[in-house]
Every structure is written in C-alpha cells, then in structure tokens.
Amino acid sequence: MKKKLWNIFIPVIQGIMVILIGISAYNAGYKTVDWRFIPMIFILNFVIVDLMLYRYSAKKGEWKRRQLENEAFRAELEEQIAHYDRIIDRLDAMSKFRHDFGNYMQTVYGLIDRRAYTEAEDMLRVLSEKIKNDRAFTTEI
C-alpha cells in the first residue's frame, strides 16, 4: 500500500510544482510563459525523483543485505559459544574425574595391601563402568 501511495503522490506533487513554476514565472513579470520549457522541467523533475528513489532503494537493499549478514554472523557466533560451553563442561568433568580417579586408585591400592581383592575388583569394576558411561569420555561434543 505504501509503494502505491508513493506512485500516486510523486506525480501529483510534480504536477503541482510545474503549475507553481508557471504561476511564479507569470507573477515575476513575464506576461506570457513559454510553456515549451514546462515539459522539460517536468521531465527533469521526474529524472531527479527517480534517481533519488533509486538511491533510496539501493541503500535500503544494502541495509537489508547487511542485516541478513549480521543475523547469520550472530547465529554462527551463538553456535560457537554453545560449542565452547560444551567443551568447558567436558573439561570440568574430566578435571573432576582425574581427582576422583586418584582417590579410587589410593583406595584400590589400600584394599590390595589389605588383601581384599574382591573389594578392589569391585571398585575397579565401578570405575570402569563410570568411564564407560560418563559423557566426558565420549568423542562427540
């Protein structure tokens, strides 16, 4: 609707401008107006307005293109941030596991020293299951 309104509004304004030019020339002391120049002024006015509209539409297109690029960059950046957050979570899980692993190994060595082999085997089995089931040890991020 907005574009259609401009298509009607611009020629009406241009026509009013041509009439005002004629009236102003007549009031300036010219008893007769050379109406041959009026169509040239009208055409020149059309050309100027068309150039202005073309520049506006080109700038608007450039703005929309940049806006789309910015949205694409924003989406890519959010994806990268989410990926880095997953990596940080995995590093935290690995750090916790290294700490727990040291405690498990001390406990297993203590059980072996006391000759409690079945309990040591159970502890190692639990540790093995934890490694197998822990998401921090998977290759997918």
Q: What is the pLDDT of residue 85?
A: 93
Domain-located, residue 121: yes
Tokens of 131: 């490694």
Does residue 9 contact residue 29 with C-beta atoms inside 8 Å? no
Query: Which of these, 43, 46, 20, 44, lies nearest to 33 by C-alpha position?
Result: 20
The amino acid sitting at 26 is Y
The pLDDT score that the predictor gives to residue 74 is: 96
6 assigned to some structural domain: no
In a domain, 87, yes or no: yes
* pLDDT confidence of residue 34: 66
Question: Block means of pLDDT (10 residues each) for the chain, length 141 residues?
Answer: 66 75 72 67 77 84 94 96 91 83 84 86 85 69 59
The vertex-15 CA angle with 12 and 17, nearest 5°, equals: 110
Q: Is residue 19 part of a domain?
A: no
- pLDDT for residue 76: 96
pLDDT number for residue 30:
66
pTM: 0.50
Q: In angstroms, rounded to a whole number, what is the distance separating the alpha carbons of residues 82 and 87?
A: 9
Cβ partners under 8 Å of residue 87, min gap 6: 141
**Rounded distance between C-alpha atoms, residue 9 and residue 45, angstroms:** 14
Helix ranges, 28-116 (H): 37-113
Residue 69, domain extent: 36-137
The answer as to whether 7 is a domain residue is no
Q: What is the pLDDT of residue 65?
A: 95
**How much is the pLDDT for 19?**
76
Indicate whether 68 belongs to any domain.
Answer: yes
Number of domains in the chain: 1
